[in-house]
Every structure is written in structure tokens, then in C-alpha cells.
């Protein structure tokens, strides 16, 4: 069962943006979808109209909006961003 990770949604979003730019992706669209769902669309080049990767994460309904454990790993499962680098960026934002 997924558990809260202690990482806030806003920190996760900043870490995603920073790591995707660092790993050479063109641009990213992101925002709230439904209730406690937040969606990311990643484009290889800034001029593309179709995303190369799409994923959604869930967060808690508390003030912190903590990311759940199963969703934390989606960025490094779906993109070329490494787990180690993403976690390093995320921890520096905490």
C-alpha cells in the first residue's frame, strides 16, 4: 500500500522541472487534474505538440500535499532521469 513520502508536491514539481531540463528534455506541462491528482506531460523538444511521456501522481489531502511512495519513482521509470540524481535534487529542495 502506498505511503506518504514526506516530500511535498511543490518540491516534487520543482525537482521534476530541474531534472528534466538537466537531462535534455525540451519542455514540460504540468498541473492539477482531478482532486488529488497532478499530471505531467514531457516534450523532447520545445516545439513538439505531442508529449513523449505522460504520468500522473497522487498526493495527500493535508496541508503539505505529500507525494505517495508509488508515485515518487514514476519520473525515473518513465524518463532518462536517474533515480540517484532525482533524489539528490529533491532532497536539496527539502
Q: What pLDDT, on a 0 to 100 scale, did the predictor assign at position 4?
A: 85
**Residue ranges covered by each domain of the chain:** 4-93
Q: What pLDDT, on a 0 to 100 scale, did the predictor assign at position 69?
A: 87
Q: What is the pLDDT of residues 37-84, one digit of tens each?
A: 999 999 998 788 899 999 999 998 888 899 988 998 999 999 999 999
Q: How far apart are CA 52 and CA 57, in angstroms?
A: 17
For residue 23, pLDDT beyond 90: yes
Q: What is the pTM of this model?
A: 0.91
Which pLDDT band, with edges at 50, 70 and 90, does 17 fall under? very high
Q: By 3-state DSSP, what share of the chain in percent is helix, strand and coil, each rounded to 5?
A: 35, 30, 35
Amino acid at each position: 500500500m502506498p505511503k506518504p513520502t514526506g516530500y511535498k508536491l511543490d518540491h516534487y514539481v520543482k525537482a521534476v522541472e530541474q531534472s528534466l531540463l538537466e537531462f535534455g528534455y525540451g519542455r514540460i506541462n504540468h498541473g492539477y487534474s482531478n482532486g488529488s491528482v497532478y499530471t505531467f506531460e514531457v516534450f523532447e523538444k520545445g516545439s513538439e505538440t505531442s508529449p513523449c511521456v505522460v504520468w500522473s501522481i497522487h498526493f495527500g489531502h493535508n496541508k503539505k500535499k505529500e507525494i505517495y511512495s508509488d508515485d515518487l519513482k514514476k519520473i525515473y521509470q518513465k524518463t532518462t532521469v536517474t533515480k540517484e540524481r532525482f533524489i539528490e535534487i529533491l532532497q536539496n529542495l527539502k
